[in-house]
Amino acid sequence: MNTKEFENKIGYQFQNVNYLERALTHSSYNKEKTKHMDNERLEFLGDAFFDAIIGVEVFHKLPQVSEGKLTKTRALIVCEQSLARVGRSLGIGKHINMGHGEESAGGRQKDSILADAMEAIIGTLYLDGGYEAAQKFVVKAFSEIIDEAVSGKLFSDYKSEVQEILQKKGKNISITYLIDKEEGPAHDKRFYVHLECNGQILGKGSGKSKKEAEQNAARQALQRGEFHVL
């Protein structure tokens, strides 16, 4: 792993480079290289600080709005899609240690893996440089997404868009989001959902909450655009 290259990308030099190596180690790597610890605990830590940092930013940028609006705006930013988007811009995928099987399955481009690695990076920045280091990175790396969310340009309510499209097809359209499976411990669950309309599967998605998984299933349905088959 070229840690210097990634440090230059994020604009931070680690005092303890072991933190960075751990943050960039996927659990699949441990099955083949057992001497490394994976980034799952760091994900847990990073998730908490990411949520707090974005909450503060949104609070200051929207001084006149209600708690409900603040919550919705934060949710637009604190999600798998945003984390993966920034992860791709930083080229984080090529730096992740992962097992050959996961890599062969396209793991370096999976939203879930990129998002988890980004959360781990935020967590490890906190451990290595304190809250200020984590806050500085998040505000800079997510600045474009934060501005889009605050200005109302960041749209992620894919479920509503799908609903509108399908309702135009007639009164008897039945839209259902069904959970296929759940994985992981209680504090770090992943939900897998599919969107079904009149018995036909239109999209599948996963996420750290049922709502996020449903949004991702709706997003896939929109990307596939196969509503004409109904």
Extended beta strands in the chain, E state: 175-183, 190-197, 200-207
Q: How far apart are CA 92 and CA 97, in angstroms?
A: 10
* CA distances, 129 to each of 13, 69, 94, 118, 123 (Å): 9, 32, 24, 16, 10
**pLDDT for position 62:** 95
Whether 47 sits among the annotated catalytic residues: the reply is yes
Q: Which entry of 38, 43, 47, 214 is annotated as an active-site residue? A: 47
Question: Of 116, 111, 99, whose CA–CA distance to 43 is shortest?
Answer: 116
* CA distances, 141 to each of 84, 85, 97, 108 (Å): 12, 10, 22, 20
**pLDDT for position 161:** 84
- pTM for the model: 0.74
- Are 19 and 124 spatial neighbours (Cβ–Cβ below 8 Å)? yes
Question: Taking each helix axis from N to C terminus, what angle separates 143-150 and 40-61, rounded to the nearest 10 degrees?
Answer: 50
| DSSP annotation of 15 | S
Q: Which amino acid is at 221?
A: A
**pLDDT for position 171:** 59
How many CB atoms sit inside 10 A of residue 170's CB?
9
Q: Which entry of 43, 80, 119, 212 is annotated as an active-site residue? A: 119
**pLDDT for position 34:** 57
Q: Any idea which residue has 């994985």 for tokens? A: 183
Q: How far apart are CA 5 and CA 25, in angstroms?
A: 16
Q: What is the pLDDT along the chain (230 residues), one digit of tens a residue?
A: 678 899 999 999 999 999 999 999 998 887 766 566 899 999 999 999 999 999 999 999 999 999 998 998 998 899 888 999 999 999 999 999 998 988 898 889 988 899 999 999 999 999 999 999 999 999 999 999 999 999 887 766 788 888 888 877 765 778 899 999 999 888 778 899 999 988 889 999 998 889 889 988 998 998 888 776 55
Whether 119 sits among the annotated catalytic residues: the reply is yes
**pLDDT for position 1:** 63
